Structure 1
Amino acid sequence: MIDGICLNPEHSLVEITFLGTSSGVPTRSRNVSSIALRLPQRAEVWLFDCGEGTQHQFLRSDLKTSQIRRIFITHMHGDHIYGLMGLIASIGLAGTGHTLDIYGPPALADYIKTSARCSQLDIARRVNIHRVQAGLVYEDAEFTVTAQKLEHRVTAHGYRVTEKDKSGRFNVEQAQALGIPPGPIYKELKQGKTITLDDGRIINGQTLCSDPEKGRSVVYCTDTVFCQGAVELAQGADVLIHEATFAHQDAQFAFERLHSTSTMAAQVALLAGVQELIMTHFSPRYTPANEVTLKDLLAEARAIFPNTKLAHDFFCYELPRHREVASQN
């Protein structure tokens, strides 16, 4: 990765692209909220929030709307959902043929269905809408997505995407040296099971596998004031993406509007013990021409949590590679 540009994405298992990093309204350099989680090995994109203009941001990136499989909406404010119906329509016109799963607050279903009816958009066979509550939202063989309620003016949830731990590499050469015949028995040994051979030998599959690889996790929290829910959701995460709408000196605005300051985001990262913090959702007031700029917000956060970055539109972040799980042998 060079200056936020993803290189050789096929070599990365999980990468994040920021499509909108402004709060409330777009600016000349920042669109409103949307983040894409790209899973290159599955040729899938999972989208988190979909502010107005998100599909235009796709056109300016190397992402493909045809690969969007899931959309997770944090809450029903316009700067997080006004791009949704246009994107749904475009995906439908493209004729991708796959079903789109959309997750969000209870009001999301009414919003989508009413908008579709008024614009005569047929989504019945192409869109599945899921109501989000705290807890498990989605799970497959490789990932889980969980949600936690945040503290905002309307119902809002943060999301955590966790990659499941992966089995260690099976040492075929060692198995062959032990005279273990290839076949279905190898599958059991790869799973770490203990098996008994025909000659009576007992083989522990764990001794033939390298240490498991720890799954990675990314957490997305916006919009919210500092709250315990965000800390709980982000516990031990590799990356925390957290809103930082205001500078510390504007904390009163943050409390009144139930948004976070840079220092609140950093405190969540510190208390949760995350590896890295990426701040986003910045108020347009902190432009380079103003007395307080985003560089000041970054300095404030780093005073509390040094491993902090500022997101910008089209900033691309590749999640760190797996960390090994301590051996159980």
Structure 2
Amino acid sequence: MSHDITVTFLGTTSGGGPTQTRNCSSLVADLAGDGSLWMFDCAEGTVRQFENQPYRPGYQRVRVNQVSKIFITHMHADHTMGILTFLRNILGIPKPVIDPDAPPANKSSTKVEIFGPRGIRRMIRMLWNVTHTRSSQAYIVHELLFPGEQPSVPAEVRAGEGADETDVRNASEKVGRDIHCDEAGYWPRIVNREIGGQRGCGLIVDAGPIQHRDPCIGYVIREVPREPLTAESPLPRKLVILGDTYDPSPLAPLVHDEPPFASPLPERDPWGHDVPVKIPVSLLVHEATDAHIPAHVDPSGRTGKNRTPESVREKAISRGHSTPGMAGAFARTIAAERLVMNHIGARFPAPVGELTNMSNPQTKLRHGIVREMARQAAEGWCPDGSRPVHTEVAVDFHVVTIRPNRNAPTAPVRGSATPCELDINMSPPIHTTTNTSPLFSCLRLPSSRQQHFRRTPQLAERRVPKDACTRI
């Protein structure tokens, strides 16, 4: 495909939010390049986040009515409680019904598809019915069922059959699918979409389980090339978007299990991390709910006192969450090219204000925290600092652009790459065009690494000039 993929973060805080500087979890991705958006999680206040987007020259704001699919990672309130207001906003107000005995007039095509774990259909149906909601356009809900699970409510329940009135399928809801996992516990190809009306060109969405306190899902989005691949073909892009997790490793085999179209590609170890893959992960979105912020970054202990790296990690895991180091370790496991962390704990406010205003203690602390979280993720990803890694801490309205690969990869032989130096004590990085926060871990690469860093356009635009930080 020739279009850029963009991911816009609408909410980046954890269940302790929303906070003054962050809304709860939601992001949208322009994957198809046709103007439609696919949303991942929909917290309370998500609709308002569309309206709150800041003006940025050269950037077109995402709009609510562009969303055509919603993927829910798990049923916690900070990931789901914006769905009803979102649907009310996007599906339109119906015309008054003159004849109360007339059949439902909703015969329009489906406006929004919703995928999520068991319970998502019943929650939406119950909220829709008890709030007497109606719409002019339709939605559809598909439940992804773990082993042994049955649907929270049947896809089709008619009134007058002895069912609870809140379980009755309303006129705005079309009959969805009950998608049972396969023997390996995965949901392959829940979406298999052609783009531009051309066969063999499109997007595949696979889903799989990740470990959290409650059932939780991660999504793998794969780009399907227009033409058959060869060993010299530019690589298609692949995104991995996770929900809350303390251990996403159950998803790793699904990430590495490439579709048949990838069979002609040779295996490469793109970053020298002993993870040979045919198609690396272009972007990993992974939570980082908690982190230990050392005293040299937070001398007054505003992010917590008497905390150690070990105690923070233990507490995060006990609550079903991750630290930046854990996110970085999983990026290495799946051969990711870029890691963006979200679901940031409420104790870590997002940076505000220009980087030049570092004389303000609060501004300096907030920027220092995200730099430290990015550094910890980089350390978890590549502990010896021998390879370039790309770690970011998202804030609301941060935009990530993934450009299409236009050249065949030229990954070096494993173990032969020149080491890079991770430099986290440099001056503040160059401002991003989407936010003024230092979301990127700073890297200084020796000149011998520059050619390898031009391996793909999406990396080339972020290559590090001599004695400068990486542009986000």
TM-score, length of structure 1 as denominator length = 0.77
Equivalent residue number for residue 132 of structure 2: 120
Q: Does 1:46 align with 2:45?
A: no
Number of aligned positions between the proteins:
277
Q: Look up the equivalent residue of 1:282 and give its one-letter code.
A: I
Quote the Cα distance in structure 1 between the aligned partners of 2:46 and 2:335.
32
Quote the Cα distance in structure 2 between the aligned partners of 1:67 and 1:58.
11
* 1:89 partner SS: helix
Equivalent residue number for residue 156 of structure 2: none
Question: Once the 2 structures are TM-superposed, how far is the Cα of residue 239 of structure 1 from its aligned partner?
Answer: 0.6
Q: Look up the equivalent residue of 1:244 and give its one-letter code.
A: A
Equivalent residue number for residue 142 of structure 2: 130
Q: Look up the equivalent residue of 2:20 and give its one-letter code.
A: R
Larger strand proportion of the pair: 1
Larger helix proportion of the pair: 1
* 1:293 partner SS: helix
Q: Does 1:14 align with 2:5?
A: yes
Q: Look up the equivalent residue of 1:261 and give its one-letter code.
A: T
Q: Tell me, yes or no, if the aligned pair for 2:117 and 2:216 is still in contact at 8 Å.
A: yes
Equivalent residue number for residue 286 of structure 2: 242
Q: 1:323 to 1:260 in 2, by over 3 A?
A: farther
Identity %: 28
Equivalent residue number for residue 160 of structure 1: 220
Equivalent residue number for residue 221 of structure 1: 242
Question: Once the 2 structures are TM-superposed, how far is the Cα of residue 106 of structure 1 from its aligned partner?
Answer: 1.2
Quote the Cα distance in structure 1 between the aligned partners of 2:238 and 2:319.
29
Q: Look up the equivalent residue of 1:304 and give its one-letter code.
A: G
Quote the Cα distance in structure 2 between the aligned partners of 1:98 and 1:13.
26
Mark the runs of 5 or more structure 2 residues left unpaired by the alignment.
54-60, 95-107, 145-180, 195-201, 257-279, 293-308, 352-361, 382-388, 410-472
Q: Tell me, yes or no, if the aligned pair for 2:284 and 2:339 is still in contact at 8 Å.
A: yes
Quote the Cα distance in structure 2 between the aligned partners of 1:234 and 1:293.
31
* 2:250 partner SS: helix
Question: Once the 2 structures are TM-superposed, how far is the Cα of residue 293 of structure 1 from its aligned partner?
Answer: 2.6
Q: 1:130 to 1:40 in 2, by over 3 A?
A: closer
Q: Does 1:275 align with 2:267?
A: no
Q: Tell me, yes or no, if the aligned pair for 2:324 and 2:377 is still in contact at 8 Å.
A: yes
After superposition, where does 1:20-39 map in structure 2 within 5 Å? 20-24=11-15, 25-39=17-31
* 1:47 partner SS: strand
Equivalent residue number for residue 312 of structure 1: 395
Question: Once the 2 structures are TM-superposed, how far is the Cα of residue 147 of structure 1 from its aligned partner?
Answer: 0.6
Question: Once the 2 structures are TM-superposed, how far is the Cα of residue 58 of structure 1 from its aligned partner?
Answer: 1.1
Q: Tell me, yes or no, if the aligned pair for 2:93 and 2:136 is still in contact at 8 Å.
A: no
Equivalent residue number for residue 174 of structure 1: none
After superposition, where does 1:244-259 map in structure 2 within 5 Å? 244-247=288-291, 249=309, 250-259=312-321
Q: Look up the equivalent residue of 1:164 and give its one-letter code.
A: V
Quote the Cα distance in structure 2 between the aligned partners of 1:230 and 1:323.
28
Compute the RMSD of aligned alpha carbons. 2.6
Q: Look up the equivalent residue of 2:118 and give its one-letter code.
A: P
Question: Once the 2 structures are TM-superposed, how far is the Cα of residue 161 of structure 1 from its aligned partner?
Answer: 1.0
Q: Tell me, yes or no, if the aligned pair for 2:252 and 2:334 is still in contact at 8 Å.
A: yes
Question: Once the 2 structures are TM-superposed, how far is the Cα of residue 125 of structure 1 from its aligned partner?
Answer: 6.1
Question: Once the 2 structures are TM-superposed, how far is the Cα of residue 320 of structure 1 from its aligned partner?
Answer: 2.9
Question: Once the 2 structures are TM-superposed, how far is the Cα of residue 229 of structure 1 from its aligned partner?
Answer: 1.8
Q: Deviations over 1:295-326 (max 9, x none)?
A: 32111111233311111111111113225458
Equivalent residue number for residue 148 of structure 2: none
Q: Tell me, yes or no, if the aligned pair for 2:88 and 2:133 is still in contact at 8 Å.
A: yes
Quote the Cα distance in structure 2 between the aligned partners of 1:124 and 1:77.
28
Q: Tell me, yes or no, if the aligned pair for 1:116 and 1:123 is still in contact at 8 Å.
A: no
* 2:127 partner SS: helix
Mark the runs of 5 or more structure 1 residues left unpaired by the alignment.
1-10, 168-190, 193-205
Quote the Cα distance in structure 1 between the aligned partners of 2:246 and 2:253.
14
* 2:92 partner SS: helix
Equivalent residue number for residue 370 of structure 2: 294
Equivalent residue number for residue 121 of structure 2: 109
Quote the Cα distance in structure 2 between the aligned partners of 1:124 and 1:23.
34
Quote the Cα distance in structure 1 between the aligned partners of 2:406 and 2:249.
27
TM-score, length of structure 2 as denominator length = 0.55
Q: Tell me, yes or no, if the aligned pair for 1:230 and 1:268 is still in contact at 8 Å.
A: no
* 2:27 partner SS: strand
Q: Tell me, yes or no, if the aligned pair for 1:226 and 1:265 is still in contact at 8 Å.
A: no
Q: Look up the equivalent residue of 1:161 and give its one-letter code.
A: I
Which structure has the higher relative contact order (CA within 8 Å, separation 6+)? 1
Q: Tell me, yes or no, if the aligned pair for 1:17 and 1:35 is still in contact at 8 Å.
A: yes
After superposition, where does 1:71-110 map in structure 2 within 5 Å? 71-93=70-92, 98-110=110-122
Question: Once the 2 structures are TM-superposed, how far is the Cα of residue 294 of structure 1 from its aligned partner?
Answer: 2.9
Q: Look up the equivalent residue of 1:219 and give its one-letter code.
A: V
